[in-house]
Amino acid sequence: MLNMSELVAVFLTEARELVEQLERGVLALEKSPGEVTAEDINAMFRAAHTIKGSAGVVGLDHVVHFTHLVETAFEQLRSNKLVVDRSLSQLLLRCNDHIASLLHCAEVSAEPAANLLQAGDALLNQLRPLLQQSAQSSENDIASPSVGSAKQKSSCHVFLKLSASCFTDGLDPVILVRYLRQHAAVCREYWYAGQVQPLTQIAPAQAETCQLMLDLLMEDIAEATLLEALEFIRQDSLCAIFNHDSPVEAQQLFLDSLESPALAQELKQRWQALGLLKVPVEVSAGTTPSLLPRSETKAENKNQPRQIDQRMMRLPAYKLDTLVNQLGELLIATATLHEHSRQFNNSDLTERVQQVQQLVDDIQGSALQLRMVQIGETFNRFQRVVHDIAAELGKDVHLVIEGADAELDKSMVERISDPLMHLVRNAMDHGLESASERIAAGKSAHGSLLLRAYHDCGSIVIEIRDDGRGINRDKVRQKAISQGLISAGAELTLRQIDELIFEPGFSTADTVSNLSGRGVGMDVVRRNIEALRGTVDISSEPGAGTQFQLRLPLTLAIIDGFMVRVGQSRFVIPLDMVNECIELPADMALDTDAGYLNLRGEVLPFIFLNQMFGLGAAASDRRSIVVVRYGKQSAGLVVDQLLGEFQTVIKPLGKLFQFLQGISGSSILGSGDIALILDIPRLVQIHVQATERQRTTTTI
Amino acid sequence: MMQMSSSSSNRAESDHSGVLGNVGQYLTFNSGGECYALGILAIKEIIEFGNITKIPMLPLFVRGVINLRGAVVPVIDLAARLYGEQLTAGRRTCVVIVELDTEDGKIELGVVVDAVNEVLELSAKDLAAAPNFGSRIRTDFIRQMARIQDRLVMILALERVLSVDEMAGLVALSQEKSASEQVA
């Protein structure tokens, strides 16, 4: 059984999602009311309704009290009693934020502060006059907020298939219907019998069997009254209640759950005849009535897989982490077993072990898949951010999202959210101009900001592009000189100038604003991204805009590696970065300073790993070069021996080695030895810096 | 070689008196010709010396990492950390696996020593305050002094000797140094 605090935790997780859903909905409503369907508004109403109802269950009275009016607002939107305009949507957004704040209080188990509650009342006071009179009176109905379910009266459809023993049990359906009729404003009843056999075939013992089915249509009946009335009859009979809150699929789900397909078909036809069947909106539109039965079966097939896909399971993240870790151990153990089994020269054994290894590999692959989430959720959060910042800056900005379905590891998603936020703020503050400036520059008045994600070479690439003024390179240069980052006479390529904005302490903003200009930021962005084994690239065109490109690995847990030997040490190079392996030409077999190689007409700088790592002179005379590529940069690594590909779990080296350069982690081999994983981008960077320094010293 | 009973590690959670350098059980061992003691509750096990994977460009006191039943554990050369001279492995050299509490949770570290001697019980009368000066090693590395058979033995303040923050800083320094040395 769930105890109360667990229940609250479940509620909070759910409510947070609903709040986000509401936010998205309201933003969509504000942006393009025409595209928002009735079903969308219905979904928003349901979200508000669910928050209120569940909050009542877990005893969060503030939330119930506040959300009630918000719910009413959505209810009136739904019934077109209320028309959405900008002020209303802004108010609804603020209300939504308030719900989030209340939820946050509940999360830290604090009572909401008095000023928060006052703010809430103020919002309600703003909202109340907008709503129609009926809503206000119904608010009094929920004087005791803990009964969240005692919501306003509404219409509903009840289906009953009375149990066979109904009459002998002493339950009289007629009495039930009579009772309901007293409590409902309108009550229509449709009785019908199921498969009644001809009288002659009925055995005396079966004479009292009840075959009746009943459809009841009621207006304005309190839910509690209804449930109370049905309490006894529900125990044995088949009973289903659909009210307007039930999702469209509810009827279909119920029909699918019936044991007899014939009955399901019969009910469907009957409900259709009575006009009770709710059909998913997208299907009913555009199909002619005469074709309805056939198109419905199609819709059924179409909806089926979607229902399976959408059923979600919630579980604590640590359980997944434990599973992935354990599978990692299993992978290592299997590799060890494989290594040992080969010593026995028993082909049968080896084959079996290989089979097991393959399976473990597969399972691990699926386990890692479990941790993959779509980036869309993170992107969607920026709708609101952009909306708010645009309002604050008085700019008109359209956010375009592409590739929201690109997947990456959950832990990754959490950690890129802050850097992304920074880049988006930066683009809006520095990149995009105000509407008047844009028009003066001959551009459309509204700026556009593109967030795009896609997979490339086993990495995920995230682009943040604006069509603003681009980087003012002169200004950047001036600032960098005045801040002592470069010398006045330094000759820099355009790219190098652009890169200056990633220097710690750099800022071009003349005034420090709320959003940016403090000079902390871009360097932090770069550091955070690099800590995730990723890179940030910037490209900018004056007058046309700036693009930031983040390149990140898909997961932090596992790596497809290529193993090499240098001296006695073994190193793993991430396989995604390996382009090719070539033999070191004989005339370069000595440790030279030449450092460059002509690879099919291209200049390939290379690094002697043994020198770099101080591993002593090479023991082998047949050395190889592994050509690695990261982003646009290529380099060759000189190694003693190539040991081949393998997949491995990354074991972080821990806090002690947090500042290690050129090595990103370790991995345990089948033999039990440890191999170090090379951090290629960093390695190349160290090498480039070292050679540049060398060049400057030699020229002096 | 010798595995501490699991009860000792359980006790580590409930009773810290040994770690805090008061009355309790201590392990004595030799390093760089000197005898030291460590509160036993911080010690998880003692394993053979060997199979250490070197990591390039590290300061002397980091020997590398070992695979301890699937976990990658850094190994610290105690002699190098205390006096700056790396230990030469001998027949009795072994690695003491200790567990430290840090801000980010517990971490395991291996400590290479010349030889382990014995586990003994020290009472209050055997203990004395650490000297303020005059010792061969940094005084803040000494928690207390213990009299063991007319000899004075230093009880190490493990959290300072093996301060992860400090050592990580030294690792960073050494990395930068080796990177710039390559140019020279």
Per-residue pLDDT at B47: 92
Q: How confident is the model at residue B28 (pLDDT cuts 50, 70, 90)?
A: very high
- Residues of A with CB below 8 A from B169's CB? 659
The CATH code of the domain that includes A76 is: 1.20.120.160
Interface of A with B in 505-564 (CB under 8 A): none
Per-residue pLDDT at A83: 77
| Interface contact B71-A651, CB threshold 8 A | yes
Q: Find, among A214, A227, A223, A226, the residue nearest to A271 by Cα.
A: A214
Q: Report the DSSP beta bridge partners of residue B108.
A: B99
Mean per-residue pLDDT, B109-129 = 89
- Residues of A with CB below 8 A from B179's CB? 661, 686, 689-690
- Pairing relationship of beta strands A633-639 and A154-161 according to DSSP bridges: unpaired
Mutate to test the interface with B, among A332, A564, A657 (most CBs of B within 10 A): A657
Higher per-residue confidence, B121 vs A509: B121
- Residues of A with CB below 8 A from B57's CB? 613-614, 661-662
* Option in A660, A668, A694 nearest B70 (CB): A668
Whether A503 and A411 map to the same domain: the answer is yes
d(Cα A185, Cα B49) in Å, to the nearest integer?
87
Whether A641 and A666 map to the same domain: the answer is yes
For A480-492, the pLDDT digits (tens) are: 888 777 777 777 7
Higher per-residue confidence, B13 vs A24: A24
Tokens 């290690």 belong to which residue? Answer: A660
Q: How confident is the model at residue B135 (pLDDT cuts 50, 70, 90)?
A: confident
Whether A165 and A130 map to the same domain: the answer is no
Interface of A with B in 319-348 (CB under 8 A): 329, 332
d(Cα A562, Cα A550) in Å, to the nearest integer?
24
Q: What percent of chain A has pLDDT over 70?
A: 81
| Domain boundary, last residue among A96, A120, A141 | A141
Whether A515 and A464 map to the same domain: the answer is yes
Number of domains in chain A: 5
Question: Is the C-alpha dihedral spanning B11, B15, B16, B18 positive or negative?
Answer: negative
CB A66 within 8 A of CB A116: no
What average pLDDT does the structure give for chain A?
A: 76
- Residues of B with CB below 8 A from A691's CB? 183
From the CA of A500, how many Å to the nearest CA of chain B? 22
Q: How confident is the model at residue A293 (pLDDT cuts 50, 70, 90)?
A: very low
Whether A104 and A252 map to the same domain: the answer is no
Does any domain span residue A266?
yes
Does any domain span residue A282?
no
Name the interface residues of B facing A (CB cutoff 8 Å).
51, 53-57, 62, 65-67, 70-72, 74, 102, 104, 107, 109, 164, 167-169, 171-172, 175-176, 178-180, 182-183
| Interface contact A655-B168, CB threshold 8 A | yes
- Give the pair of three-digit tokens for residue A498: 């652009």
Task: Report the length, in residues, of chain B.
Answer: 184
Per-residue pLDDT at A232: 72
A89 in B contact zone (CB under 8 Å): no
For A639-668, the pLDDT digits (tens) are: 888 998 877 778 878 888 888 888 888 888
| Interface contact B171-A332, CB threshold 8 A | no
**pLDDT(A309) > 70:** no
Whether A543 and A404 map to the same domain: the answer is yes
Whether A158 and A126 map to the same domain: the answer is no
For A123-177, the pLDDT digits (tens) are: 888 888 877 654 444 444 443 333 333 344 567 788 887 777 777 777 777 777 7
From the CA of B73, how many Å to the nearest CA of chain A? 8
Does any domain span residue A495?
yes
Q: Find, among B84, B85, B1, B5, the residue nearest to B41 by Cα.
A: B5
Q: How confident is the model at residue A303 (pLDDT cuts 50, 70, 90)?
A: very low
Does any domain span residue A511?
yes
**Please, what's the b/e burial string for A177-215 (b: 16 or more CB within 10 A of its CB; e: otherwise)?**
beebbebbeebeeeeeeeeeeeeeeeeeeeeebbebbbb
d(Cα A638, Cα A607) in Å, to the nearest integer?
6
The burial class, CB within 10 Å (0-12 / 13-18 / 19+), for A525 is buried
A673 in B contact zone (CB under 8 Å): yes
Q: Report the DSSP beta bridge partners of residue A455.
A: A460
Q: How confident is the model at residue B33 (pLDDT cuts 50, 70, 90)?
A: confident
Mutate to test the interface with B, among A659, A663, A688, A692 (most CBs of B within 10 A): A659
From the CA of A658, how many Å to the nearest CA of chain B? 7
**Please, what's the b/e burial string for A530-554 (b: 16 or more CB within 10 A of its CB; e: otherwise)?**
eebbbbbbbbbeeeebbbbbbbbbb
- Residues of B with CB below 8 A from A569's CB? 53-54, 56
A663 in B contact zone (CB under 8 Å): yes
DSSP annotation of B58 reads -
Higher per-residue confidence, A299 vs B110: B110
Does any domain span residue A594?
yes
Mean pLDDT lowest among A316-325, A677-686, B16-25:
B16-25
From the CA of A137, how many Å to the nearest CA of chain B? 55
Q: What percent of chain A has pLDDT over 90?
A: 4
Q: Cβ–Cβ contacts within 10 Å for residue B91, how many?
A: 7
What angle do the packed helices A38-57 and A61-78 form, to 10 degrees?
160
Show the domain range for B23: 2-181
Q: What is the CA radius of gyration of chain B?
A: 17
d(Cα B86, Cα B62) in Å, to the nearest integer?
10
CB A299 within 8 A of CB A350: no
- Residues of A with CB below 8 A from B107's CB? 654-656
Q: Which residue of A has its CA nearest to B103?
A: A655
SS3 at position B54 = coil
The burial class, CB within 10 Å (0-12 / 13-18 / 19+), for A319 is exposed
**pLDDT(A564) > 60:** yes
Does any domain span residue A606?
yes
CB A668 within 8 A of CB A618: no
Higher per-residue confidence, A684 vs A171: A684
d(Cα A317, Cα A410) in Å, to the nearest integer?
9
Mean per-residue pLDDT, A223-236 = 74
Q: How confident is the model at residue B73 (pLDDT cuts 50, 70, 90)?
A: very high
Mean per-residue pLDDT, A396-407 = 88
Four-point Cα dihedral A429, A431, A437, A440, nearest 10: -170
From the CA of B175, how many Å to the nearest CA of chain A? 7
From the CA of A485, how many Å to the nearest CA of chain B? 20
A391 in B contact zone (CB under 8 Å): no
In order of A242, A317, A559, B81, the CA distances from A514 in angstroms are 51, 35, 41, 48
d(Cα A323, Cα A410) in Å, to the nearest integer?
14
The burial class, CB within 10 Å (0-12 / 13-18 / 19+), for A218 is buried
Tokens 């839910």 belong to which residue? Answer: A223
Tokens 């009943």 belong to which residue? Answer: A214
d(Cα B161, Cα B168) in Å, to the nearest integer?
13
Mean per-residue pLDDT, A211-231 = 76
- Give the pair of three-digit tokens for residue A186: 């309108």
DSSP annotation of B88 reads P
Per-residue pLDDT at A695: 65
CB B122 within 8 A of CB B39: no
For A314-333, the pLDDT digits (tens) are: 788 778 878 877 887 787 78
**Residues near A264 by beta carbon (within 8 Å), at least 6 away in sequence:** A255, A256, A258
A658 in B contact zone (CB under 8 Å): yes
CB A429 within 8 A of CB A412: no
Per-residue pLDDT at A698: 59
Higher per-residue confidence, B33 vs B75: B75
For A496-512, the pLDDT digits (tens) are: 888 888 877 676 555 44
In order of A197, A505, B132, B135, B152, the CA distances from B129 in angstroms are 100, 48, 9, 13, 11
Mean per-residue pLDDT, A475-484 = 80
Does any domain span residue A149?
no
- Residues of B with CB below 8 A from A663's CB? 55-56
The CATH code of the domain that includes B82 is: 2.40.50.180
Whether A171 and A264 map to the same domain: the answer is yes
Tokens 């390695």 belong to which residue? Answer: A683
* Option in B62, B67, B179 nearest A672 (CB): B67
| Interface contact A613-B56, CB threshold 8 A | yes
CB A571 within 8 A of CB A564: yes
Number of domains in chain B: 1
CB A279 within 8 A of CB A299: yes
Whether A158 and A218 map to the same domain: the answer is yes
A596 in B contact zone (CB under 8 Å): no
- Residues of A with CB below 8 A from B70's CB? 329, 332, 668
Show the domain range for A173: 154-196+208-277
Higher per-residue confidence, B45 vs B135: B45
Does any domain span residue A332?
yes
Pairs of residues, one from chain A and one from chain B, whose beta carbons lie less than 8 Å apart? 88
Whether A477 and A353 map to the same domain: the answer is no
d(Cα B107, Cα A361) in Å, to the nearest integer?
29
**Residues near A490 by beta carbon (within 8 Å), at least 6 away in sequence:** none
Per-residue pLDDT at A305: 43
- Residues of A with CB below 8 A from B176's CB? 661
